[in-house]
Amino acid sequence: MNFSELERAILIALEEAGEENLSALLNTVKGHSGERVKGEIDSFRMASTNLVNSGFVEIARFRNQESKLWIPMPKRESLSLLQQLESLLRWSDSDQLWIWSSSSPRAEVLLTASGIDAAREVLSNHGWHGAG
């Protein structure tokens, strides 16, 4: 599979836990420390959109009340949410990171079964022999 550097970073970040809230994931993979970089939301949106469209990740906002498992949003809703990132996130100068600024429930990015396989392939290609 041919992933961009940011797509690989997202898959690797999600591989261990299988999920992460969207703002924390952006902060993890943004590739720099302590400064807001112009265009990083756009690049994160593009990479996330590609991974959603490919079926490697899903987005959820609510958990099943009984099982406590995340309920993935339909693909169209996930893609719509990604288009709204600028209104959902804001840069905190004091904390030097992106935070969820919306009053709506935070979005969680979930690794799918095929996403797990892709993440392990990426790790394996980067020399992590415990992958797969």
Residue 65 sits in a domain of what CATH number? Answer: 1.10.10
pLDDT at 35: 56
Q: Is the pLDDT of residue 122 over 90?
A: yes
| Nearest partner of 21 among 55, 84, 74, 70, judged by Cα | 70
Q: What is the average per-residue pLDDT within 85-112? A: 91
- For the chain, how many structural domains are there in total? 1
Question: Could you report the per-residue pLDDT of 104-120, keeping only the tens digit for each?
Answer: 899 999 999 999 999 99
Angle at which helices 113-125 and 5-15 cross, to 10°: 110
Alpha-carbon gap, residue 123 to 132, rounded angstroms = 9
The DSSP letter of residue 4 is -
Alpha-carbon gap, residue 12 to 120, rounded angstroms = 8
The range of the structural domain enclosing residue 83 comes to 5-125
Question: Could you report the per-residue pLDDT of 29-45, keeping only the tens digit for each?
Answer: 986 555 566 688 999 99
Q: Is the pLDDT of residue 131 over 50?
A: no
- Residue 79 counted as domain residue: yes
- Residue 131 counted as domain residue: no
Q: Is the pLDDT of residue 49 over 50?
A: yes
